[in-house]
Structure 1
Amino acid sequence: MNVMPLGEKLLIKRIEAEGKTAGGIVLPDSAKEKPREGKIIAVGSGKLLKSGERAKFQVKKGERVLFSSYGGTEVKIDGEEYLLMSEDDILAVIE
Protein backbone atom coordinates (compact mmCIF):
# COMPACT_ATOMS: atom_id res chain seq x y z
CA MET A 1 0.00 0.00 0.00
CA ASN A 2 1.29 3.42 -0.92
CA VAL A 3 -1.29 6.09 -0.01
CA MET A 4 -0.38 9.71 0.67
CA PRO A 5 -3.20 11.82 2.16
CA LEU A 6 -3.50 15.35 0.78
CA GLY A 7 -3.25 18.59 2.78
CA GLU A 8 -4.39 18.30 6.39
CA LYS A 9 -5.71 14.73 6.03
CA LEU A 10 -4.59 11.66 8.00
CA LEU A 11 -4.92 7.96 7.17
CA ILE A 12 -5.92 5.99 10.26
CA LYS A 13 -6.32 2.26 10.89
CA ARG A 14 -8.97 1.51 13.52
CA ILE A 15 -7.90 -0.59 16.49
CA GLU A 16 -10.40 -3.45 16.78
CA ALA A 17 -12.99 -3.38 19.57
CA GLU A 18 -12.99 -5.92 22.37
CA GLY A 19 -15.09 -9.00 21.70
CA LYS A 20 -16.09 -9.35 25.38
CA THR A 21 -17.72 -7.12 27.95
CA ALA A 22 -16.10 -6.47 31.33
CA GLY A 23 -18.33 -9.22 32.74
CA GLY A 24 -17.05 -11.77 30.19
CA ILE A 25 -20.02 -11.81 27.81
CA VAL A 26 -18.94 -12.44 24.21
CA LEU A 27 -20.40 -9.85 21.82
CA PRO A 28 -21.39 -10.63 18.22
CA ASP A 29 -20.03 -8.28 15.55
CA SER A 30 -23.44 -6.62 15.12
CA ALA A 31 -23.48 -5.56 18.81
CA LYS A 32 -19.97 -4.12 18.86
CA GLU A 33 -19.59 -0.38 18.78
CA LYS A 34 -17.09 0.88 16.22
CA PRO A 35 -13.92 1.82 18.07
CA ARG A 36 -12.92 5.46 18.25
CA GLU A 37 -9.28 4.58 18.64
CA GLY A 38 -6.74 4.06 15.89
CA LYS A 39 -3.16 4.25 14.71
CA ILE A 40 -1.95 6.92 12.30
CA ILE A 41 -0.65 5.22 9.15
CA ALA A 42 0.14 8.29 7.01
CA VAL A 43 -0.08 12.09 7.24
CA GLY A 44 -0.55 14.70 4.54
CA SER A 45 1.62 17.75 3.92
CA GLY A 46 -0.26 19.99 6.42
CA LYS A 47 -2.89 22.69 6.27
CA LEU A 48 -2.13 25.48 3.79
CA LEU A 49 -1.93 28.81 5.61
CA LYS A 50 -2.75 32.23 4.13
CA SER A 51 0.98 32.97 4.06
CA GLY A 52 1.48 30.05 1.65
CA GLU A 53 3.33 27.93 4.22
CA ARG A 54 2.14 24.58 5.57
CA ALA A 55 1.17 24.17 9.24
CA LYS A 56 2.87 21.31 11.09
CA PHE A 57 0.76 18.45 12.42
CA GLN A 58 0.40 18.03 16.18
CA VAL A 59 0.30 14.26 15.66
CA LYS A 60 2.71 11.99 13.81
CA LYS A 61 2.78 8.68 11.99
CA GLY A 62 2.62 5.65 14.31
CA GLU A 63 0.81 7.38 17.21
CA ARG A 64 -2.35 5.92 18.75
CA VAL A 65 -5.16 8.45 18.83
CA LEU A 66 -8.77 8.91 19.91
CA PHE A 67 -11.06 10.49 17.34
CA SER A 68 -14.64 11.72 17.18
CA SER A 69 -17.37 9.12 16.55
CA TYR A 70 -18.50 10.42 13.18
CA GLY A 71 -15.20 11.85 11.99
CA GLY A 72 -13.56 10.80 8.78
CA THR A 73 -14.46 8.90 5.66
CA GLU A 74 -14.20 5.13 5.57
CA VAL A 75 -12.10 3.79 2.69
CA LYS A 76 -11.01 0.30 1.69
CA ILE A 77 -7.43 -0.13 0.47
CA ASP A 78 -6.03 -3.55 -0.45
CA GLY A 79 -8.99 -5.19 1.32
CA GLU A 80 -8.36 -3.37 4.64
CA GLU A 81 -10.57 -0.63 6.11
CA TYR A 82 -9.09 2.75 6.98
CA LEU A 83 -10.34 6.22 7.84
CA LEU A 84 -9.33 9.42 6.07
CA MET A 85 -9.90 12.37 8.40
CA SER A 86 -8.64 15.83 9.15
CA GLU A 87 -6.53 16.60 12.19
CA ASP A 88 -9.48 18.52 13.65
CA ASP A 89 -11.28 15.19 14.22
CA ILE A 90 -8.46 13.92 16.49
CA LEU A 91 -9.37 14.38 20.16
CA ALA A 92 -6.29 13.00 21.95
CA VAL A 93 -3.04 11.07 21.62
CA ILE A 94 -2.72 7.87 23.68
CA GLU A 95 0.72 7.37 25.22
Structure 2
Amino acid sequence: MAKRLVPLLNRVLVEKIVPPSKTNAGILLPEKSTKLNSGKVVAVGPGVHDREGKLIPVSLKQGDTVLIPDYGGTEVKLGDKEYHLYRDEDILGTLHD
Protein backbone atom coordinates (compact mmCIF):
# COMPACT_ATOMS: atom_id res chain seq x y z
CA MET A 1 0.00 0.00 0.00
CA ALA A 2 1.51 3.35 -1.08
CA LYS A 3 1.41 6.19 1.39
CA ARG A 4 0.17 9.60 0.36
CA LEU A 5 1.00 12.80 2.23
CA VAL A 6 -1.44 15.69 2.21
CA PRO A 7 0.25 18.84 3.60
CA LEU A 8 -1.50 20.86 6.29
CA LEU A 9 -2.01 24.63 6.41
CA ASN A 10 0.33 26.51 4.04
CA ARG A 11 2.83 23.72 3.49
CA VAL A 12 4.06 22.52 0.09
CA LEU A 13 5.44 19.04 -0.68
CA VAL A 14 8.27 19.23 -3.25
CA GLU A 15 10.20 16.53 -5.08
CA LYS A 16 13.69 17.82 -5.89
CA ILE A 17 14.72 17.75 -9.53
CA VAL A 18 18.13 16.11 -9.91
CA PRO A 19 19.88 17.61 -12.94
CA PRO A 20 21.74 15.25 -15.27
CA SER A 21 25.44 14.82 -14.49
CA LYS A 22 26.34 14.09 -18.11
CA THR A 23 25.06 14.89 -21.59
CA ASN A 24 23.38 12.45 -23.97
CA ALA A 25 26.77 12.01 -25.67
CA GLY A 26 28.32 10.94 -22.34
CA ILE A 27 30.23 14.13 -21.56
CA LEU A 28 30.46 14.68 -17.80
CA LEU A 29 29.15 18.07 -16.70
CA PRO A 30 30.87 20.01 -13.90
CA GLU A 31 28.89 20.06 -10.65
CA LYS A 32 28.61 23.87 -10.66
CA SER A 33 26.86 23.93 -14.04
CA THR A 34 24.20 21.49 -12.87
CA LYS A 35 23.44 23.15 -9.51
CA LEU A 36 20.00 24.72 -9.48
CA ASN A 37 17.84 23.99 -6.49
CA SER A 38 14.57 23.29 -8.19
CA GLY A 39 11.74 20.92 -7.60
CA LYS A 40 8.29 19.86 -8.70
CA VAL A 41 5.32 20.58 -6.42
CA VAL A 42 3.66 17.26 -5.57
CA ALA A 43 0.96 18.47 -3.16
CA VAL A 44 -0.14 21.65 -1.39
CA GLY A 45 -2.07 22.36 1.78
CA PRO A 46 -5.31 24.35 1.81
CA GLY A 47 -3.75 27.53 3.24
CA VAL A 48 -3.99 29.48 6.48
CA HIS A 49 -6.67 31.67 8.03
CA ASP A 50 -6.05 35.34 8.74
CA ARG A 51 -7.25 37.13 11.90
CA GLU A 52 -10.72 37.62 10.46
CA GLY A 53 -10.99 33.90 9.66
CA LYS A 54 -10.65 34.35 5.90
CA LEU A 55 -8.73 31.55 4.17
CA ILE A 56 -5.52 32.61 2.42
CA PRO A 57 -4.84 29.81 -0.09
CA VAL A 58 -1.36 28.58 -1.00
CA SER A 59 -0.01 30.47 -4.01
CA LEU A 60 1.32 27.33 -5.71
CA LYS A 61 -0.40 24.39 -7.33
CA GLN A 62 0.47 20.77 -7.98
CA GLY A 63 2.83 20.42 -10.95
CA ASP A 64 4.53 23.83 -10.57
CA THR A 65 8.32 23.88 -10.95
CA VAL A 66 9.77 25.95 -8.14
CA LEU A 67 13.08 27.37 -6.95
CA ILE A 68 13.78 26.16 -3.42
CA PRO A 69 16.28 27.40 -0.81
CA ASP A 70 19.62 25.63 -0.29
CA TYR A 71 18.70 24.86 3.30
CA GLY A 72 15.48 24.42 5.22
CA GLY A 73 12.40 22.37 4.76
CA THR A 74 11.75 18.98 6.27
CA GLU A 75 12.90 15.80 4.54
CA VAL A 76 10.14 13.23 4.12
CA LYS A 77 10.65 9.72 2.77
CA LEU A 78 7.61 7.97 1.30
CA GLY A 79 8.37 4.53 -0.06
CA ASP A 80 11.62 4.80 -1.98
CA LYS A 81 11.25 8.51 -2.86
CA GLU A 82 12.48 11.53 -0.91
CA TYR A 83 10.52 14.75 -0.72
CA HIS A 84 10.89 18.07 1.08
CA LEU A 85 8.14 19.89 2.94
CA TYR A 86 8.31 23.72 2.90
CA ARG A 87 6.07 26.53 4.02
CA ASP A 88 4.56 28.47 1.10
CA GLU A 89 6.57 31.60 1.98
CA ASP A 90 9.88 29.65 1.97
CA ILE A 91 9.60 28.88 -1.76
CA LEU A 92 11.77 31.40 -3.64
CA GLY A 93 9.85 31.47 -6.93
CA THR A 94 8.39 29.52 -9.82
CA LEU A 95 10.35 28.48 -12.92
CA HIS A 96 8.80 28.75 -16.39
CA ASP A 97 10.10 27.63 -19.79
TM-score bracket for this pair, using the shorter chain length: 0.7 to 0.9
Q: Secondary structure at the match of 1:88?
A: helix
* Equivalence for 1:17: 19
Aligned residues: 90
Deviations 1:21-42 (A, max 9, x none): 9xx4357xxx788751000000
Tell me, which stretches of 5 or more residues in structure 1 are unaligned?
A: none
Q: Distance in 2 between matches of 1:64 and 1:80?
A: 18
* Equivalence for 1:46: 47
* Seq. identity, %: 36
Contact 2:10 2:48 in 1 (8 A): yes
Matches within 5 A, 1:57-76: 57-76=58-77
Q: Distance in 1 between matches of 2:94 and 2:36?
A: 15
Contact 2:10 2:57 in 1 (8 A): no
Q: CA RMSD in A?
A: 2.2
Deviations 1:42-87 (A, max 9, x none): 0001022111122022211110000111131111001210001101
Tell me, which stretches of 5 or more residues in structure 2 are unaligned?
A: none
Contact 1:57 1:87 in 2 (8 A): yes
Contact 1:76 1:82 in 2 (8 A): yes
Normalised by the size of structure 2, how large is the TM-score? 0.78
